[in-house]
Each structure stands twice: as C-alpha cells, then as structure tokens.
Structure 1
Amino acid sequence: MSTVLRAGLVGLGVMGRNHARVLGALDGVQLVAAADPRPGAAVTGVEVVATVRELIGRGIDMCVVATPTATHEKIGLELAEAGVPTLIEKPLAHDSKAAQTLVEAFARNQVPGAVGHIERFNPALQHMRRRLDLGELGELYQVVTRRQGPFPARVTDAGVALDLATHDIDLTAWLTRSRYSSISARTAHRSGRGNEDLVSAVAELANGIVVTHLVNWLSPLKERVITVTGELGCFVADTVTADLTFYQNGVEPVEWDRVASFRGVSEGNVTRYAIRKPEPLVTELANFAAFVRGEGAEVVSLAEGLTTVRVAETLRESADAGATLEIQG
C-alpha cells in the first residue's frame, strides 16, 4: 500500500458528493475515481466509471459506498471479495440478514470494514462521551432523543426507523456503553409514502437505562437533540449546532415561591461548553483512512452496524405487533 491511499467512491448522490468533497481534500488520500451508472454523473477532476468492477480496476486502496440502502449488500460483497477496505454509509444494509452477510464476507476475506454512522463524530457527542466516561453525570438514568424535520428528497427506499432512528440507536448504545435489551414502539404513515414517517419508541438498555426516541419526517421544525440524564444533572447535545450544554443538579434552594413554581425547587449552574467544532465527515473519513493504514483509529465496526439494524428491525416488529419485544444480545 502506498503512502497516499488511492480512494474510490460508489455513488454520487447528495451524500456521495459530500464524501467526494472531503476525500478530495483529505491529507494522505487521493480520490482517483467514482462509480455511478447514471448518465451525466460527474465530479470535477475525478474519473467517473459506470460499475464497481471498473472502479476496483483502478487500483484503489479504500472505498466509500454512498448509495441507496438496498444496494449496500451487493456492492459491499463485491468490494469485500476484491479485498478493498470499505466504509459503507449507514445503515449497513436494508435488513439484518443482509447486514450479517456483509459482516461475514469482510471477516472471511480479512478485509477492514466500517459503517458511516457520522453522528458519532459530531463534536458535541464526542465531547459528551468523554465527560460521561469521566463520570461527570454519575449514574446514568435516561437517554431521550428527538430527531425530526421535513421529509428529505434524498430518501427513496427506507422509512424513518431505518434511515433516521438508526442514528439514535447507534449513538445511545455508544454513549452509554450498553446494549438494548427491550423496545416498545409505535409507527405511523401520514404522508402517503410506503414507509413509516413517524416513530415513537421506549426502550431499556441492559444496564437499566430508560430510553425514549421521537423520530419523524413530518415536522417543519428540524431537531437533532440528545439528552442524557444522570444523578448529577444532564447533558444536552444539539448536533445541528454541535453545542453541548450541562445542566447541573441544583444545590441552592429557590426561596422566591413565584420563581420556584417555574424553575423547580433548586437551581444549579448551566454551562455551555466551548469546544472545537471540526466537520464530522472530515473526522470520520480521516479516522477511516488511519484504520486502513493499520493505525489506531475510531471507526464504527460492521458488527456494531449489524446490531443497530437488528434493533431498528425489532422496533418495527414491535410497532406491528403492538407489544414490547426483547432484543437478544
């Protein structure tokens, strides 16, 4: 493998073009070609070929797959068999069977693989996780996520459970270092599309933390908020602005009754942290390149991607059954 990694890209849609922009500027990486069968697909300064086979033939050292979810299995298998280290955009696959097939193929061929759960690289969440690991909230009690906004035209083959809720499923397990043990969910179809466009779910993690996910494509308000509550207060991360705020449990009683009725019985400090805010996609791809080189790097493993798809599947099964379902570890 050369000092400069020769990168390939499959898919030149909205997310694919973002990958092309970052790969084209990343130190130690050269974007040599992209594959997209659509007539007119192009990226300035990059050769575009029609097939994955042609892309592999350009002698690439790593590849990013940014195509519709239903195509991930076929493309990923072709790259695994060719021995190309690959990052597959989230979700890993359209169902757990396909995701399992990908995990096994990369393992069988001893090829590095990862999943593009980009929210893990949001500065607010990176900072939150470090503080959680230091025990700054004490024992954790609850995680609440809100991910809602208008329908994105880029999505054609998945509902909110697989496309959006997988962000929060992955982040919750990662932030708390625990797995999902059960989930109860409800879904709705309100916009006339074939897939669900609203999800409300309550889950429990193996360590006893209670989780609530609210997800939809129906709101004019775009929200991307994660709140983690523990015995010493709560962290609130807004991943749109990459802000992290700490609400400390109160230590000073509120003596003015009228104010207490609005603010609660005690007050603590509120701190919005000043943190560096690098672009998450740059951090993700720089880490993946380091992973391909065999250096220490943070990536989302294929096995983690499989687990997330399984939880999302169970969420939809719970909604269909109208029941709380257990999730096997």
Structure 2
Amino acid sequence: MGLIGLGSMGRHHARVIREVEGMELVAVADQFGDRHGVAQGLEVLPDVGALIGAGIDAAMVAVPTYLHEEVALALAAAGVHAMVEKPIAATAAEGERVAEAFAAAGLLGAVGYVERCNPALLEMRRRIAEGQLGEVFQITTSRQGPFPGRIADVGVVKDLATHDVDLTAWIAQSHYAMVSGQVTHRSGREHEDMVVVSGRLENDIIVGHAVNWLSPLKVRETVATGEKGAFIANTLTGDLTFVANGDVRSEWERSSHFRGVSEGDSVRYALARREPLRVEQENFRDALWGRQTEVVSMEEGVHTLRVVEAILASAASGRTITL
C-alpha cells in the first residue's frame, strides 16, 4: 500500500493500514511534508509520481479534495488500485472522469465513505433489509457541530452533507430523485457553513438533512421511520435503538382522540463496536483479494456528488432540482 496525503485523515489511514493483516504500508507522499510524524522511517515522497515509482499495488488517496482527480487519474494510468477519500472529486464531472478511468483500466476504485462502516448504520441497514420496519417512509439525518479548522477547500455540503447523502441512498437502496436545499454563510468564509435539505428518493422515501459547522453541540444521528416503528442510530457512540409502534390505547382525555401511531416498546441493541476506519480498510483489502465485500464504488461516489451539486444549485436558485 501507498498513502498520499499525510494530514488529519491521512495519519489515521496510515495507522490503520499498518494494523490490517495483509496490508503493508511501504510508501508515503505529501508535498507539504509530514507534520504528524506519519512516515515512521519511510521517506516522505513529494508527489504521486514518486509514490507510483515505489512499486505499490494499491493506494489510499487522502489529499485535499481539489487534488483528487489529478492524483487518482495518475494512479489509474499507472495500473494502481485506489481508494479515494470522500468525495471522489471536487465536481461530478471530475468524478466521472476518475470512475471511467478506473473502469477502463480494469482496476478496483473505491471511495472512502467511512460512515457506511459505523456499527449502528450497518445494523440499521441489515434490519431494514430484513423487513423489520416494513415499508420505510422517511430517513432523516442530523450532522452538526463546531467548525473544523482542517477544512479549507469546500463548504459544509461537500464536506459533511456528502456523508448523509451517501448513507441515506445506501440504507434505502435507492438513488435520489429530487432535492431542495437552503444554505447560509455565517462564519465569514467563502463556502456555506449550514444547510437544510429536503428531498425524495426514487423509491418514494422522503428524506431530510440538517448539517452545519455552527453548533456547539456535536450531533450525529440518523432516523429511519417506517410502518412498524423507527430506528435511531447515534453514530458518535455506535448505538442503535428501535422504537416500535404501540397498540395501547391512551386513557388520557387530551390524547384520546388521536388515532395515529403511539410509542411502543423501545430496544437498544448491543452491538460489537469496531473502528469504522479499520472496517473500511479491511473491506478494501478483501475486495483486492477478490472476496465478496462491500466497498463504495466510484459510480456511487459520482451519484452522491451529483446530489450535493443539485443541493447547492437549489439553494442558489430557490428551486427544487430533479435529478
């Protein structure tokens, strides 16, 4: 394995690659040096060309988003399999070029959407697929917290909301059909720092996302509501709770006229909590070995970028955008 990009995400990828059986980190590269001490005796190479020259089989790309296309295309041209940190590229058009290059070369290309490896979301998706919710009506997400100093090249939509778009389509097993977005700029930066999104998937599930960098309270929550109840996933803690629809009639006079859903039994599942980033790298390794496993394809990464670009277009135009 080679790793390019030794910043705040790259340092974690380096640690995990070194821990995963069957992977050996043999080369690292970053044009800005190694401020986190990731190399641990390896030479810090200056660019992707030098990384390829080290004779690697596969690479992890953790450079800033605006460099994703350039680095990924160089790896594809050299016949190197790669996983690219999310989003796949800065624009959907760039992402399409990357995905096409890997497909044409017959290479494994993946995108690093680590939330798909969160134990709470993995369990939620499994139980929904088994029919525990019955028909799914709605999926909502809340991803809020303080501003991260590491982000400079994109706004909250492409940095954070891209997670919510990807995981929602994955849980629902459906693409987005339409979106409407509202953004605001409150921190004096070029890019948006708050977004609220509503939309509908192709399978008619309605969705909503509240994402920002302006909250003192860190929240990471995904709620799926269906005909049999609701799943609530806290992806900060890896907890999954199921609240069933109740069938007990209320005797309280003020609510006795209500004929909708009532709150039933609540269950919090005991889950094995493995580090999502490690699961992500193990999935990539297994895919390289030809095993049946789940990685986020580059085509899925492109769809997610099309959705987030539609969210930004909606916010700029005041219209709902159909994909």
TM range (shorter): over 0.9
Cα distance per residue 1:149-199 (max 9 Å; x no partner): 111111110001101110000011000011111111111101100000010
* Residue aligned with 1:13, SS: coil
* Residue aligned with 2:145, SS: strand
Task: Verify the 8 A CA contact 1:77 1:102 in the aligned structure 2.
Answer: yes
**Alpha-carbon separation, structure 2, partners of 1:183 and 1:39:** 40
Length, aligned pairs only? 319
**Alpha-carbon separation, structure 1, partners of 2:90 and 2:56:** 26
Match of 2:31 among 6, 20, 37: 37
**Alpha-carbon separation, structure 2, partners of 1:124 and 1:163:** 21
**Alpha-carbon separation, structure 2, partners of 1:40 and 1:176:** 40
Letter in 2 for 1:125: L
**Alpha-carbon separation, structure 1, partners of 2:254 and 2:239:** 31
Cα distance per residue 1:263-310 (max 9 Å; x no partner): x97331000000101000000000101111222111000000000000
Letter in 1 for 2:265: N
Task: Verify the 8 A CA contact 1:253 1:265 in the aligned structure 2.
Answer: no
Letter in 1 for 2:306: R
Letter in 2 for 1:151: F
Query: Are positions 1:25 and 2:19 aligned together?
Result: yes
Task: Verify the 8 A CA contact 2:238 2:273 in the aligned structure 1.
Answer: yes
Match of 2:140 among 140, 144, 158: 144
Match of 1:194 in 2: 190
**Alpha-carbon separation, structure 1, partners of 2:93 and 2:141:** 27
Query: Are positions 1:154 and 2:114 aligned together?
Result: no
**Alpha-carbon separation, structure 1, partners of 2:106 and 2:280:** 22
**Alpha-carbon separation, structure 2, partners of 1:176 and 1:265:** 22
Report the alpha carbon displacement of residue 45 of structure 1 after superposing the two structures with TM: 3.7
Task: Verify the 8 A CA contact 1:253 1:267 in the aligned structure 2.
Answer: no
**Alpha-carbon separation, structure 2, partners of 1:232 and 1:105:** 44
Letter in 2 for 1:142: Q
Cα distance per residue 1:108-158 (max 9 Å; x no partner): 111110000000000000000000000000011011110111111111100
Query: Are positions 1:166 and 2:162 aligned together?
Result: yes
Letter in 1 for 2:206: V
Note the residue ranges of structure 2 that are not aligned, 5 or more in a row.
none
Match of 1:12 in 2: 6
Report the alpha carbon displacement of residue 56 of structure 1 after superposing the two structures with TM: 1.0
Match of 2:267 among 271, 290, 294: 271
Q: How does 1:59-208 map to 2 (within 5 A)?
A: 59-208=55-204
**Alpha-carbon separation, structure 1, partners of 2:211 and 2:256:** 32
Task: Verify the 8 A CA contact 1:254 1:267 in the aligned structure 2.
Answer: no
Match of 2:317 in 1: 321
Match of 2:248 in 1: 252
Cα distance per residue 1:81-106 (max 9 Å; x no partner): 01110000000011011001101111
Task: Verify the 8 A CA contact 1:35 1:51 in the aligned structure 2.
Answer: yes
Report the alpha carbon displacement of residue 316 of structure 1 after superposing the two structures with TM: 0.2
Cα distance per residue 1:209-237 (max 9 Å; x no partner): 11111111100011110000000000000
Query: Are positions 1:292 and 2:265 aligned together?
Result: no
* Residue aligned with 1:307, SS: helix
Query: Are positions 1:52 and 2:27 aligned together?
Result: no
After TM superposition, the structure 1 stretch with the greater mean CA deviation from structure 2, 70-79 or 265-274, is: 265-274
Task: Verify the 8 A CA contact 2:196 2:209 in the aligned structure 1.
Answer: yes
Query: Are positions 1:241 and 2:237 aligned together?
Result: yes
Evaluate the alpha carbon distance shift between residue 260 and residue 241 of structure 1 in structure 2; reply closer, same or farther with a 3 A threshold: farther
**Alpha-carbon separation, structure 2, partners of 1:125 and 1:45:** 37
**RMSD across aligned positions (CA):** 1.5
**Alpha-carbon separation, structure 2, partners of 1:80 and 1:123:** 32
**Alpha-carbon separation, structure 1, partners of 2:189 and 2:204:** 36
Query: Are positions 1:219 and 2:215 aligned together?
Result: yes
Match of 1:3 in 2: none
* Residue aligned with 1:268, SS: strand
